[in-house]
Structure 1
C-alpha cells in the first residue's frame, strides 16, 4: 500500500511539473490548411476534364461555356459554374445512372482560367514593393515576401499576419517573419493558398 501511494505521488509531481513548464512556453498559432482545388467553385472559361470509369468514350475535356454549362455525352448540358468538381461529378453520376450501371465519375480542373485574378497572392504593408503575384503550388510566406523585395526599415515583421478567406469568413494567422528570415524558424512559414493576403505592419514609434 505504501509503495502504491508513493507511485501515485511521483506521478502527480511529474504531471504538475510538466504543466508548469508548459505554461510559460509561447503558444504557436495553428498552421492554416492549404486549400485544395476541390474547394474552389468552377467558373466560366475554366477547362474541366470529365472521366467515367470503364467508359472512356464518355470522357471529355471542355471549357465551361458562358452560360455556365458543359455538354456531356448521353446526358447533355450540365451546370458546372458555381459548383466544385466533386459536386459536378455527383450530378453527372446521378444523370448517367439512367444509362450506365454504377457510373464512377471524376471531374478535374485542368485550366483555372476564371481564377486568374482570384488565385493571386498579395503582400501589403511595410514591404519594399507591395505586390500581387500569381499563386504557385508550394509557395510559402517567405517566397511571397521575398518577391515583394523583403520588409522595409519601418516594418514590425514579427507582427505580420496571413489572411485567408474560407467561405464567408476570413481567418487570420500570426506570422513571425523576423524569426523566419533571421533565425531560420520556419514554424510559421505557412504554405500560402490562392487568394491569401500577407500584411506586414509598421512598428510603433
Structure 2
C-alpha cells in the first residue's frame, strides 16, 4: 500500500480546549437585530443586517454594524438618536445568527451535509458533527484536520472523527473556535 499515507500524519492533535472565555459575538450580514428604545415604542424594530453590513432605522440611515458587538451597536444607536430623543436608552439583541465568516465553523468534504455553522460558545467537534449529520460512507474520518487562524497565525491540527463518532472515544472530542474550518477527506479504498 505504498503512497497511502494519512493526510493528517505529522500534524499535531487539536488541543482539547480552545480559549474563548473573552468571546464576544460579532454581528455580520444576515443577522437579525431586535432594537428596543425604551419609552419610545415607535422606534422599536427588528432589522436584518444587509449584505453591505449596514442597517437603517427610522431616524438613523445606513449605520454600519457588521464587525461590531451588540454593545458597540447599542452605543452607536444611542449616539445617533441623541439628536432626536432625550437620553435614549437602547437595547440591541441578536435574534438570528449568521455572523461573518470569522464567527462561523465551516465543514467541507465528506460530511453528510457540508455547511457553515454559526459558532456557539464552548462548541465542540461532536456538536459540529451532529449538526452536519455525521460522516459519509466514504469519509476518512481519522484523517480529518482543523484549520485554525488566530491573531494572524495559521495552524493545522489532526482530529479523529471516526474514533469520536463510530467508537465513542470522547478523548477525540475537542473544542472548536470561531473561524475554524473542518476538512474531512475521502477515503481512497
Q: Do they superpose with TM above 0.5?
A: yes
Aligned to 2:114: 132
- Which of residues 13, 16, 31 in structure 1 aligns to 2:17? 31
| 1:136-155 matches, cutoff 5 A | 140-143=127-130, 146-149=133-136, 152=139, 155=140
- Kindly name which structure, 1 or 2, has the bigger radius of gyration based on alpha carbons: 1
Per-residue CA deviation, residues 26-73 of structure 1 (Å, 9 max, x unaligned), is x98232357999533422x54322123444332111234566433334
Higher relative contact order (CA 8 A, sep 6+): 2
| Cα 1:54–1:174 shift into 2, 3 Å | farther
Aligned to 2:181: 197
8 Å contact kept, 1:30–1:173? no
| Cα 1:68–1:140 shift into 2, 3 Å | closer
Aligned to 1:92: 77
| Cα 1:183–1:67 shift into 2, 3 Å | closer
- Which of residues 79, 86, 93 in structure 1 aligns to 2:63? 79
- Which of residues 170, 173, 176 in structure 1 aligns to 2:160? 176
Which range moved further: 33-42 or 185-194?
33-42
The gaps in structure 2 that reach 5 residues or longer are 1-12
- Cα RMSD of the aligned pairs, angstroms, is 4.3
TM-score (normalizing by structure 2) = 0.58
Aligned to 1:109: 94
TM-score (normalizing by structure 1) = 0.55
| Cα 1:162–1:53 shift into 2, 3 Å | farther
More helix by share: 1
| Cα 1:140–1:164 shift into 2, 3 Å | farther
The Cα of 1:160 is off from its aligned counterpart by: 3.3
Which range moved further: 86-95 or 188-197?
188-197
Aligned to 2:7: none
2:28 pairs with 1:42: yes
Per-residue CA deviation, residues 164-194 of structure 1 (Å, 9 max, x unaligned), is 4456554544423343135422244246567
